[in-house]
Amino acid sequence: MSQFAAEPLLDITVRVNGIRRTAAAPARRLLSDFLRHDLGLTGTHVGCEHGVCGACTVLVDGEPARACLMFAVTAQAHDVTTVEGIGHDPADLDPVQQAFVECHALQCGFCTPGFVTTISAYLDEHPDPSADEAREAISGNLCRCTGYQNIVAAVLRAAELRREREGTA
Amino acid sequence: MSTRQMGEKVQRREDPRLLTGNGRYLDDLGRGALQAAFVRSPHAHARIVDIDIADAWELDGVEAIYTWEDLPGRVAEPLPVLIPHPAMTHARTGYCLARDEVNHVGEAVVMVVARDRYVAEDACARITVQYDTLPAVVGVAGARDGDRLVHDDVPGNVAANLRQEVGDVDSAMAGAPHTLTLELAIERSACMPMEGKGVFGRWDADDGSLRLYSSTQTSTGVRAAVAAKLDLPLAKVEVVTPDVGGGFGVKIVHPWPEEVLVPWAARNLGRDVKWTEDRREHFVSSAHERGQLQEVTVGFDDDGRLLALDVRFWHDNGAYTPYGIIVPIITATQLLGPYKPGAYRVEFWSLYTNTVLVTPYRGAGRPQGCYAMERTMDAIAEHRGLDRAEVRSRNFIQPDEMPWDHGLMFQDGRPLKYDSGDFPASLAKLKALVGWDDFAAYREQAEREGRRVGLGIGCYVEGTGVGPYEGGHVQVETSGRVNVATGLTTQGQGHQTILAQIVADELGVPFDDVHVTTGDTRRMAYAVGTFASRGAVMSGNAVALAARVVRAKALRIAAEALEVSPDDLEIADGVVSVKGAPGTSIALKTVAVMSNPLRYAFDESAAAATQFAGTFDPDTPPVGDDDEPGLEGQDFYSPTQATFANGMHAAVVETDPVTAEIRILRYCVVHDCGVMVNPMIVEGQVHGGVAQGVGGALYERMLYDEGGQLLNASFMDFLMPYASEVPHIETDHLETPSPLNPLGIKGAGEAGTIPVSAVIASAIEDAEGFPIRSMPISPADLWELRRRHAASDPDPVPAQEGPR
């Protein structure tokens, strides 16, 4: 018998990508680990676990948040959107995802989900950014592959695609 | 007629999966696996006195705790020296878990396997290791003094000492009208891929086999190393490389201790075991690069032409040398760039320090070499009052002098012989792109506005596509799907797209029909790995050769069926047709059916190949003596030497007169990697490389204190550039095909990074009017340099005129 009691597990319920999901996890479980390992939503990546790189960025009630800096329990009663919630079908891409393909805005793709969520939220508020504004919008996320230039281009292209889709809707 | 894919900006087929959360990186695998964590040394240099694990065992969920004493057989032996070299007289490697001594902060001492990572880390925190600390050796200067030793049995901390000389440097130097000596310094940085390392092991006890997933740059290397360590038949070990979140060099090292320990624990416990490196672990237990002190003495004539070059440098190789002395060998040889040095002598000492080990990082020794040579070029121009581009131009190897043999041995043990390049044409393009001749006017205008600007330049040649070989396998399915496999891994370079482009062209099939697998030893057991900008050169040519094998076979079978000569046939859009008679044709997928005589009909196309279908000659066997079933083929590409890409960069920087803030206003690149398979991907490689170079020039340095503690082991403190720090990059290309390989390709992976520190140093020097001899440079560094120069307190490492 262990000297230390097993860690108590809580049933944690979070609304993720529009669906209420429940899993048993300890109170200290990070939201990033909860999404990835308890719910199997592995699109949210962990690059630093100290809130600097932005790879784990999800939307909490529509606002970008670092999933590695939140506990899963604190996400209860909130709406969480992961990259899978932006678009999960490779054959049916969201405008931001489509713009990334067109502009060669990803290489290894590890930081990419955090950029996609960040840019989606940004364009909701700023549908027609300038190149400088686009650069500013992504300047909280680290990418080690692309040199950012093509990500800036993708922000502008995504804004264009969004307008086109709205125009035809 | 199909559109030719080679040279087109084809959008990447990797992307939709990776963009939608459908990527599968190492930590996305093995749900439910046990998780490993490590107790790592808090000391840079210490003897282990005692390890107490009792408290940790009390934790619920702990499955295993291992120290060195628990390791059996070869697992307990030192890790291999992967690339031995005769000059490496004192190679030293660590153990999977430290035996008696630790030699850097972060060295693994105890491994814990537990229900999950949280519990494993809790257990680590309950383990007490008693150390007897020893004095630490930190930094090149500290190691060179040799008064403290990293390894007791390595005198002077010298792992290796290598000298190469071409011509008579002493007499050439003595006869030179002018000589200069430069003392130069460049600091440590690191690859820092966004995904750290990771290993997931699955042991099949019934089959006695191991499947290992690793975030590696070489799956065949890991396979062989792990099989050797675990004493398993090679045939019982499979290594699969899933999606990898960047490598940049650090993931070429193998086996990392965890690549041995995780599968060993999986076999021991009969359970899946996984380890995912966290960011702090990556800082203190993976690898760094770049740290060197250099001394360059150059002799030249009135026109700035090189007559003699004498270089000595001291390379910080960290605590161990598992990857040999590849990095300093590359510095020593690639330093020459596009220039004819006159007589050349280079000698280096690779030194142990009590810091994280050093292995190749994007550019791999070349940024330091380029920095040394380009600082020298600028110093010559300054000394003679000449235009900096003109001095470079006067020293170029000319296009009609190619191939150019420097008479030195390169990192692969083969001659340093440039295959192609047109340096004057590249320089002309760069000068036009950046507006070299108009800069003086721009500077005057800026001065009138109270702004301080400078223009910098840097040229390099990059040995790419080193051997020994890569392989390709191409198979046409009866559905028309074409499966391509190469053993080389991929970390975001778009191999699945460019290799499909190459095969689509070579075989004459639609791009969408071609599917590429990389880095899976189940599909291609012979491979080397992804490093040294070799992916497109090596695997690109290998899959092209394999596709040609398949094409020849398809033409032979189709020619028999159509009763024509194979010479009269062509393949386009997946259809074999008689040239000039498109009506007479046969689909490639039908040729695949015909290539494989079947006994059993399991689908429609199979039914067409069974023994009672069609006509056959009863006197010949279904598969001829010199034939094999299936429309597939394999071939290998193995070159006699490396290819040599080249490029030239220029930058305009602005330095704030008050705060010394450094801003890059413009960054221009002219790049020559031979024939480009996909210009979009080549440009992406250049952009990413420049961004890493900007990091190395302005931000990234590993801050060790005297005790060997890394003070900035987080992204809060080790500064990598964000979008706000990387300038827009303007590019132009030149394509001088390599004569060495069928496709004329030279590599492009590292080019962007190589000259950036040299270029930024050049530009800052131009803006400020005093020499820059140490990189990276921060605003605080620049501010201090200004203060010293204003006070006529010379820089500690200025250029010095005169005899040595």
Question: What's the average pLDDT block by block, 10 residues per block, for chain A (169 residues)?
Answer: 69 97 96 97 97 98 98 96 98 98 98 98 98 97 98 98 83
Burial of B509 per CB tally in 10 Å (0-12, 13-18, 19+):
buried
Rounded Cα distance between B542 and B552, Å, is: 16
What is the extent of the structural domain holding A139?
Answer: 95-168
Give the helix ranges, DSSP H, for B620-739.
679-694
Cβ neighbours of residue B420 closer than 8 Å, sequence gap 6 or more: B402, B403, B644, B674, B736, B737, B738, B739, B746
Report which of B212, B34, B203 is spatially closest to residue B120, judged by C-alpha positions: B34
- Tell me whether residue A138 is in a domain: yes
**Residue labelled with tokens 């630490």:** B136
Query: Residues B609-638: pLDDT tens digits?
Result: 888 887 778 888 999 989 999 999 999 999
Chain A nearest CA to B150, separation (Å): 31
Phi, psi of B27 (to 5 degrees): -75, -5
- Tell me whether residue A42 is in a domain: yes
Do A105 and A158 belong to one domain?
yes
* Interface TM-score (ipTM) > 0.90: yes
- In this structure, are residues B359 and B322 in contact, taking their beta carbons and an 8 Å threshold? yes
B12 vs A37, A101, A142: nearest CB: A101
Q: How confident is the model at residue B1 (pLDDT cuts 50, 70, 90)?
A: very low
A138 vs B27, B493, B723: nearest CB: B723
Question: Domain tally for chain A?
Answer: 2
Report which of B640, B635, B326, B634 is spatially closest to residue B468, judged by C-alpha positions: B640
Rounded Cα distance between B7 and A18, Å, is: 43
Query: Residues B556-600: pLDDT tens digits?
Result: 999 999 999 999 999 999 999 999 887 899 999 999 999 999 989
User: Which pLDDT does position B408 carry in this prediction?
Assistant: 94
Q: What is the mean pLDDT of residues B141-146?
A: 93
Question: Is pLDDT above 60 for B801?
Answer: no
Chain A nearest CA to B275, separation (Å): 14
- In this structure, are residues B761 and B456 in contact, taking their beta carbons and an 8 Å threshold? yes
Single residue among A62, A85, A108 that ends a domain in this structure? A85
- Tell me whether residue A99 is in a domain: yes
Do A121 and A57 belong to one domain?
no
Chain A nearest CA to B10, separation (Å): 9
CATH number of the domain where residue A130 is located: 1.10.150.120
Do A13 and A81 belong to one domain?
yes
Q: What is the mean pLDDT of residues B248-261?
A: 97
Q: What share of chain B has pLDDT > 70, as a percent?
A: 98
- In this structure, are residues A54 and A114 in contact, taking their beta carbons and an 8 Å threshold? yes
Question: Is pLDDT above 80 for B729?
Answer: yes
B716 vs A50, A83, A145: nearest CB: A50
Q: Both tokens of residue A81?
A: 């959107």
- Host H or E run for residue A15: strand A10-16
Single residue among A52, A67, A85 that ends a domain in this structure? A85
User: Which pLDDT does position A6 carry in this prediction?
Assistant: 72
Please answer yes or no on whether A109 and B691 come within 8 Å at the CB atom: no
- Tell me whether residue A43 is in a domain: yes
Single residue among A22, A57, A85 that ends a domain in this structure? A85
Do A157 and A99 belong to one domain?
yes
Query: Residues B119-131: pLDDT tens digits?
Result: 999 999 999 999 9
User: Which pLDDT does position A166 carry in this prediction?
Assistant: 85
- Tell me whether residue A1 is in a domain: no
Please answer yes or no on whether A112 and B195 come within 8 Å at the CB atom: no
Do A106 and A47 belong to one domain?
no
- Tell me whether residue A90 is in a domain: no
Predicted TM-score (pTM) of this structure: 0.95
Confirm or reject contact between A7 and chain B (CB < 8 A).
Answer: yes
Question: Is pLDDT above 70 for B653?
Answer: yes
Confirm or reject contact between A117 and chain B (CB < 8 A).
Answer: no
Do A37 and A104 belong to one domain?
no
Chain A residues in contact with B726 (beta carbon < 8 A): 147-149
CATH number of the domain where residue A19 is located: 3.10.20.30
- Tell me whether residue A4 is in a domain: no
Query: Residues B47-99: pLDDT tens digits?
Result: 999 999 999 999 999 999 999 999 999 999 999 999 999 999 999 999 999 99
Do A17 and A55 belong to one domain?
yes
Do A102 and A75 belong to one domain?
no
Cα dihedral across residues B582, B583, B584, B588: positive or negative: positive
- Tell me whether residue A127 is in a domain: yes
Do A68 and A127 belong to one domain?
no
Do A117 and A140 belong to one domain?
yes
Do A111 and A163 belong to one domain?
yes
Do A62 and A117 belong to one domain?
no
Mean pLDDT of chain B: 95
Burial of B567 per CB tally in 10 Å (0-12, 13-18, 19+):
exposed
The neighbouring-strand residues paired with B185 are: B293, B774
